[in-house]
């Protein structure tokens, strides 16, 4: 009803014929009176529907300063963002992400992140509490003196719980990123197929260009975010476990279903 009343109002405002304008306005008023809808509300409804979407910046809270594992949380959000046409800058502390994209795309990212973060943390907790991590090892470089020279060699050492957890979560996030990327590729291929495309490819390209221009004008990032890999040793067993959990995770609401800022680094999203 809001759309019908709003359409009559727009016709009344668009015509140069005074009698037509009065007729459209009277028709809109009759509908509004019967429906108890204010004409101003109807106007706002139509204006909102016709407003052209534009990219926005949104701050995504990740966690409190000092909390362990924030970088793997960021990795998960950036992986989700990359598959949903959202670009990211990451605060130096990894406590928040600056997301750049269209409202609906960022909404999708936040919904997916909320679900997948719970699944990732729960799965990694289960892995650690089960004791499976005790069979995992981590590669380390040790230095020792031999014949007056310092020799460095690679050794296998038991993985500490925190190291196993980080490796598990890194692999989980990476697998989620690959799964979502595959879904995006399939959806876009279907959308631009010759038998179904009606300017879709051009629309997708225009959207990408608009987001690129917006990001270039708004972002204050310096450097590139390198992810959590540098802060943890490599544990193959923990990563295999995290990858398996990422394969089994439910994607939920995803494409396959229908003041002064801290120093930033550019993420991999978008």
Mean pLDDT (10-residue bins), the chain, 270 residues: 72 76 74 62 62 84 89 95 92 94 90 93 94 80 74 76 91 93 80 59 80 91 75 80 93 47 57
For residues 76, 253, 269 and 162, what is the CA-based torsion angle, rounded to 10 degrees?
0
Q: Is the full-model pTM beyond 0.75?
A: no
Q: Are residues 94 and 190 in the same domain?
A: yes
Q: Are residues 42 and 76 in the same domain?
A: no
Q: Are residues 74 and 128 in the same domain?
A: yes
Domain-ending residue, one of 50, 71, 88: 50
Indicate the number of domains in the chain. Answer: 2
Q: Are residues 44 and 122 in the same domain?
A: no
What integer pLDDT is reported at residue 257 of this predicted model?
Answer: 37
Domain-ending residue, one of 12, 30, 50: 50
Q: Are 263 and 93 in contact (CB under 8 A)?
A: no
What integer pLDDT is reported at residue 217 of this predicted model?
Answer: 92
Q: Are residues 170 and 208 in the same domain?
A: yes
Q: Are residues 116 and 209 in the same domain?
A: yes
What integer pLDDT is reported at residue 80 of this predicted model?
Answer: 94
Q: What gap in Å lies between CA 120 and CA 234, rounded to an integer?
A: 19
Q: What gap in Å lies between CA 79 and CA 175, rounded to an integer?
A: 9
Q: Are residues 123 and 199 in the same domain?
A: yes
What integer pLDDT is reported at residue 226 of this predicted model?
Answer: 78
Q: Which residue range is the domain that position 19 belongs to? A: 2-50
Q: What gap in Å lies between CA 48 and CA 44, rounded to an integer?
A: 6
What integer pLDDT is reported at residue 258 of this predicted model?
Answer: 38
Q: Are residues 33 and 61 in the same domain?
A: no
Q: Are residues 46 and 60 in the same domain?
A: no
Domain-ending residue, one of 34, 50, 66: 50
What integer pLDDT is reported at residue 13 of this predicted model?
Answer: 73
């Amino acid at each position: 009803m809001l759309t019908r009343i709003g359409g009559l109002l727009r016709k009344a405002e668009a015509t140069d014929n005074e009698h037509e304008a009065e007729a459209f306005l009277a028709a809109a008023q009759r509908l509004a009176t019967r429906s108890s809808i204010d004409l101003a509300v109807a106007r706002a409804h139509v204006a909102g529907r016709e407003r052209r979407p534009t990219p926005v910046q949104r701050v995504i809270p990740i966690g409190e300063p000092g909390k362990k594992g924030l970088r793997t949380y960021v990795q998960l959000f950036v992986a989700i963002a990359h598959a949903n046409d959202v670009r990211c800058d990451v605060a130096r502390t990894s406590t928040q992400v600056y997301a750049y994209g269209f409202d609906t795309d960022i909404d999708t990212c936040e919904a997916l992140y909320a679900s997948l973060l719970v699944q990732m943390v729960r799965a990694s907790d289960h892995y650690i509490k089960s004791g499976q991590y005790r069979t995992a090892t981590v590669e380390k470089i040790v230095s020792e003196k031999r014949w007056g020279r310092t020799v460095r060699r690679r050794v296998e050492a038991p993985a500490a719980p925190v190291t196993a957890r980080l490796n598990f979560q890194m692999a989980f996030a990476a697998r989620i990123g690959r799964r979502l990327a595959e879904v995006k590729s399939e959806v876009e291929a279907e959308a631009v197929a010759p038998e179904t495309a009606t300017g879709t490819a051009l629309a997708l390209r225009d959207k990408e260009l608009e987001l690129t221009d917006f990001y270039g004008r708004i972002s204050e990032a310096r450097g590139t975010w390198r992810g959590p890999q540098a802060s943890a040793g490599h544990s193959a067993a923990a990563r295999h476990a995290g990858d398996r959990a990422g394969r089994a995770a439910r994607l939920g609401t995803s494409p396959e279903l229908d003041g002064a800022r801290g120093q930033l680094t550019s993420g991999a999203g978008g």
